[in-house]
Amino acid sequence: MKPVEFLGEALEQLRAFPRSARREAGFQLDKVQRGREPDDWKPLKTIGAGVREIRVREGREDVAARHRTSTTALQRIDEEEAMSKKRFESIWDAIEDTAEDAAAMRARANLMLELQEHLRKRKLTQTEAARLLKVAQPRVSDLMRGRIDLFSTDMLIDMLGRMGARVTVSVEFKRAA
């Protein structure tokens, strides 16, 4: 996975989002870290090449998280060179309050990505997916829009099981410095 880097006040601004919006933006940025496209975004060419705005919803309000996909774009904008930079291996390490919460969100994001990907490959309608997963259609909509805060790890594992997946857990320890 690509590391995530925040310039200036960007991390503090993201952390100031309401929790559900912060986690939804985190899920979309997790996708970007994995080399995938976020669900809802637009290019911001006026700011610089490779800059995109990821849009998430909090209630009825749009909330935006901006990110860059191009490191060369970072080097081209002189005023940003003076800004502080904060780098993280995982978006979850950046936006969650504790290491425990970050680990739980990484696991939940992995499960949700697998479920989304499998549903897309099967080309099911949301109604068909809801029937298969034994949930209401709006839950499938929330799932496909990356509303990660609405799903527990247990629920995602149950849904994957209903799709015929065998879920296993893998644990890695970071090396002590």
Residue 177 in domain:
no
Is the distance from CB of 103 to CB of 153 less than 8 angstroms?
Answer: no
Task: Answer with the one of 61, 95, 129 that is the final residue of a domain.
Answer: 95
Q: Cα(85)–Cα(56) distance, rounded to whole angstroms?
A: 24
The pLDDT tens digits for 10-41 are 888 888 888 888 898 889 888 888 888 887 77
Is the same domain home to 34 and 105?
no
- pLDDT score of 67 more than 60: no
| Euclidean distance between CA atoms 28 and 64, whole angstroms | 11
Domain coverage including residue 122: 99-162
DSSP assignment, residue 70?
A: -
Q: Which residue has the higher pLDDT, 163 or 171?
A: 163
| 166 phi, psi to nearest 5 deg | -105, 110
Same domain, 40 and 15: yes
Q: Is 76 helix (H, G, I), strand (E, B) or coil?
A: helix
86 shares a domain with 110: no
Residues 8 and 85 in one domain: yes
- Looking at the structure, tell me whether residues 16 and 47 fall in a common domain: yes
Residue 33 shares a structural domain with residue 104: no
Over pLDDT 90: what percentage of the chain? 42
**In a shared domain, residues 79 and 24:** yes
- Is the residue at 117 inside a domain? yes
pLDDT score for 142? 93
In total, the chain counts a number of residues equal to: 177
| Tens-place pLDDT, residues 102-119 | 999 999 999 999 999 999
Residue 77: pLDDT band with limits 50, 70, 90: very low
Do 82 and 104 fall within a single domain?
no
pLDDT 10s digits, 86-98 = 888 889 999 999 9
